[in-house]
Amino acid sequence: MLLHRNGGAPQRRCCPTTFPTSWADDHFEISGILGIGGSWGIDSSSGRGSSYLISEWEYPDIGVVIRDTPSAGHGAVMLDYSECGPEGEPAVAYIDEDRIPRRATQSFGDFLAQLVACDSLA
C-alpha cells in the first residue's frame, strides 16, 4: 500500500482486537495510514512524522508510527520491530493511553487484511 498509494485513508478503518481499547471493547479505528515521504509521511519533519509523534506523545520506541487514531494523539498504530529487529517483518501494535504496546496483528499485510468497515462492528 505504501509504495502503490503512499498512504491515505482506507475505506475499511476498524481493526478488530482480542483486547479492549479506550476506543471500544473489541476494536480500534484509524483515520488513515501515513505515507513514506512528503509533509504527511512517516519520515516527515513537519510535526507529522513518526519520530516527532513518538517524542511528542511519548509512544514506546518500538518502531514506526504508521497512523494515529481519531483520539488525536492519545492512541497510535505502530510497526513493531521489537522482536524481529530492523531487518525482519514487523508486527503491528496498538498503543493506547497507557502507552503499552498491544499486538494487533503479526504483520502489516495481516493488518490491512483484518481491517473492516466500522459499521460492521456495531
The helix (H) or strand (E) run that includes residue 55 is: helix 50-57
Nearest one of 58, 89, 90 to 75, comparing CA atoms: 58
Q: Which CATH number fits domain 2-121: 3.30.200, 2.60.40, 3.40.1580, 3.10.20?
A: 3.40.1580
The pTM for the full model equals 0.86
Between 109 and 31, the more confident residue is: 109
% of residues, the chain, pLDDT over 70: 84
Q: How far apart are CA 70 and CA 77, in angstroms?
A: 11
Report whether 77 contacts 104 (CB < 8 A): yes
Say what the pLDDT of residue 32 is: 80
The strand ranges marked E within the chain are 14-16, 27-29, 63-68, 76-80, 91-95, 101-105
Give yes or no for residue 51 having a pLDDT over 80: yes
- Cα distances (Å, whole numbers) of residue 92 to 47, 48, 76, 104, 122: 22, 19, 10, 6, 23
